[in-house]
Amino acid sequence: MNQICYLDNAATTKSAPQVVERMMKSFQEDYFNPSAMYKPGLTEEKVIQGCKAHLMAAIHGKGDAERQIIYTSGGSEGDNLLIRGILDRKRPALLESGTIVTTAIEHPAVREVFLDYEKRGVKVIWLPVDEEGFVDPKDLAQAVDAHTLLVSIMGVNNELGTFQPLETFGKIIKDQNPNCFFHSDFVQGFMKCPIDVEKAKLDGVTLCGHKINGPKGIGAVYLREGWPIKPLIFGGGQEHGLRSGTENVQGIVGFDEAVKFWESPEVIERLCQYRSYVADTLTEALEHVKILGPEDEERRSPAVMSAAIDGVRGEVLLHACEAQGVYISTGSACSTHKKEKHQVQKAIGLSPSYTEGTIRISFSALTTFDEVKRGVDVIVGEAQKLRKFAKFIK
C-alpha cells in the first residue's frame, strides 16, 4: 500500500493534532450542558463566548460577538439559515415583486436554495463570470435595485480559487439599496484570504471548521445585528432562538483551535509556494494544460487550484492517481451526486475537451512539500500514460 498523499483539502481536511488534543480534553472535562444553571454549565457558556469573540476578530467584525456569531453544523446549514432565514420572513407580496441575486459559480448549498426559490416563482438573477471566475461589478450594479431583497456571492470559489472583491461589491449593493441583505459563502476563503465584514458591508457570512483542519460537524455564521431571520431549527432557544439544540462544545473548541492554527503567516506563505510549484510543474511537463482561475496571486486563494489537461479524462486520471496513493478530485465534492457536472467550467467558457480533463488540487496547513512534489510527479506520470493509451486506441 502506497503512503497516502492527500491533495483534496478543499473537500475536507485532516484535523490538526492540537485540534484533536483540545477536543479530547474537552470531551473528558467539559461535558456539561452550557444551558445548565450550575457553575460548570456557566463555565462552558463562557468558553463558547470566548470562541465567538475569537471568530469575530478573525473576520474583523464589530459589536456583540455573542449575538452575531451563531454556531451551526457546517457550511450547508449556514447558507440555508441565512438565505432562507431572511427570505422566509418576507411577506409573499414582497417575494413576488422582489428579486434575489447570485452567481453562476456558487456552491450547491447556495445554488440549490436559489433554484428552489426560483421554482416557487421568485425572480432570480444569475450573474455571469469571466474566464477567471470574476463577477463584473457593472453586472452587479445593473442587477441590484430597490426591489432586490438579497445578494449572495461566494467569497472564494471552491474550484478556481477566485477571490471576489467583496468590498467593491458591498459598496455597490448598499449604495443602490441599503435594505438589501448581502451574504457571502466564505467557507473556502476563511483563514486563507482576508475578510473584513465591516469594510465589505456584509450582513451575513458562512464559515466552516473542517476546511481549516478543524472537525466536521461544526460551522458558524456571522449575522449583522439588526437583521431578524427565521430559524431553521426550533426548540430550546439556544443561540438567542436562532439555532436551537444543545451546543456542540467539543466542535466549537476544535473550530477555535483550528483558527489559531491557521493564524500563523507561515501557513499562507507555504501554500502560495505549493500552488506555484504545482502550476509551474504541470505546465512545463505537460503540453496543452490550462491552470484555471486568476493569474494575479492577490486575487486568488493559495489553497485550491484547478488544472485542465486536454486529451485526458479527469475522472480516469483521478483513479489512476488513487492507485498510486495520491488523492485529488475533479471538482466540488458536494456536486458529485448531482446530474449536472462541470458547472464552473461551463460558466468560465472552458472548451469541452479541457472541461473533461479538469482536476482540482488543494492544500491545507498540514500539507508538506514532499506530499506536493510526490503528488504532482504522479499526476504528470499518469497523465502521460493516459495520453499515450488514448493515442494507441485511436
Domain segments of the chain as ranges: 5-14+265-393, 17-262
In angstroms, the CA 205 to CA 60 distance is: 12
What's the confidence (pLDDT) of residue 258? 98
Task: Give the residues across from 125 on adjacent strands.
Answer: 101
What's the confidence (pLDDT) of residue 332? 59
**Inter-axis angle of helices 249-262 and 39-58, nearest 10:** 30
Q: Is 197 exposed, middle or buried (0-12, 13-18, 19+ CB in 10 A)?
A: buried
Measured between alpha carbons, how far is residue 135 from residues 45, 56, 150, 164, 217 in Å? 41, 27, 16, 7, 31
Contact criterion met (CB below 8 Å) for 71 and 256: no
What's the confidence (pLDDT) of residue 392? 46
Catalytic residue list contains 334: yes
Give me 181's grid cell: 441583505
The pairing of strands 358-362 and 304-309 is antiparallel
- CATH (one of 3.30.470.20, 3.90.1150.10, 3.40.50.300, 3.50.50.60) for 5-14+265-393: 3.90.1150.10
Task: Give the residues across from 185 on adjacent strands.
Answer: 206
Contact criterion met (CB below 8 Å) for 103 and 135: yes
For domain 17-262, the CATH class is: alpha beta
What's the confidence (pLDDT) of residue 338? 53
In angstroms, the CA 373 to CA 391 distance is: 27
| Sequence-ordered list of residues with C-beta below 8 angstroms from that of 59, at least 6 positions apart, any chain | 186, 190, 195, 196, 197, 205, 207, 222
What's the confidence (pLDDT) of residue 388? 87
Cα 168–Cα 344–Cα 369 angle in degrees, nearest 5: 85
SS3 at position 260: helix
Q: Which of 193, 208, 272, 334 is catalytic?
A: 334
What's the confidence (pLDDT) of residue 195? 98
Q: In Å, how far from its chain's centre is CA 4?
A: 24
What's the confidence (pLDDT) of residue 335? 53
What's the confidence (pLDDT) of residue 389? 78
SS3 at position 367: coil
What is the 3-state composition of the chain as percent helix, strand, coil, each rounded to the nearest 5? Answer: 45, 15, 40
pTM of the model: 0.95
SS3 at position 151: strand
Query: 103: closest CA among 151, 71, 67?
Result: 151
What's the confidence (pLDDT) of residue 340? 61
What's the confidence (pLDDT) of residue 130? 98
Contact criterion met (CB below 8 Å) for 180 and 125: no
Give me 124's grid cell: 432570480
What's the confidence (pLDDT) of residue 393? 46
Task: Give the residues across from 186 on adjacent strands.
Answer: none
Instruction: Mark the ranges of the chain whose per-residue pLDDT is less than 70.
Output: 1-2, 332-340, 390-394
**Cα atoms found within 13 Å of the Cα of residue 100, Cβ hemisphere only:** 27
In sequence order, what E strands does 195-246 have? Answer: 204-208, 219-223
